């Protein structure tokens, strides 16, 4: 995801953290959006912003875990040792 020049990537990364928690959950439940979100959360280049995005899922973990597309996004922070 983040293999492009910083001038191109910076606005993209800013858009992830600008979403509301509801929008991020909806993105996580979308069959394509979930892959973009997963890529964001597993990229070392975006690691400084992971906590800001993951905090949007507090109290909403079950919504993702029970969703076909969202369940693998849930696995990202489970692999990181996050609780939810």
Best mean pLDDT range from 3-7, 8-12, 80-84: 8-12
- Whether 1 has a pLDDT exceeding 90, the answer reads no
Alpha carbon distance 35, 73 (integer Å): 8
Does 84 map to a domain?
A: no
Does 58 map to a domain?
A: yes
The per-residue pLDDT for 22 is: 93
Does 67 map to a domain?
A: yes
Does 1 map to a domain?
A: no
Which three-class secondary structure state does DSSP give residue 83?
coil
Distances (CA, A) of 42 to 17, 20, 47, 74: 15, 20, 8, 12
Does 19 map to a domain?
A: yes
CB 72 within 8 A of CB 38: yes
Does 29 map to a domain?
A: yes
The per-residue pLDDT for 4 is: 64
Quick: pLDDT tens for 18-65: 999 999 999 999 999 998 888 888 887 777 788 888 888 888 888 888
For 5, the token pair is 């020049």
Domain count of the fold of the chain: 1
User: Which ranges of 19-46 would DSSP assign to H, the alpha helix?
Assistant: 21-29, 33-42
- pTM equals 0.76
The per-residue pLDDT for 2 is: 53
Residue ranges making up the domain that contains 55: 6-79
Does 24 map to a domain?
A: yes
């Amino acid at each position: 995801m983040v293999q492009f020049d910083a001038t191109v990537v910076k606005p993209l990364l800013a858009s992830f953290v600008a979403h509301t928690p509801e929008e991020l959950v909806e993105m996580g439940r979308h069959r394509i959006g979930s892959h973009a979100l997963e890529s964001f959360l597993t990229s070392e280049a975006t690691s400084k912003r992971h906590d800001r995005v993951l905090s949007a899922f507090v109290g909403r973990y079950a919504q993702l875990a029970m969703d076909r597309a969202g369940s693998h996004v849930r696995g990202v922070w489970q692999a990181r040792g996050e609780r939810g």
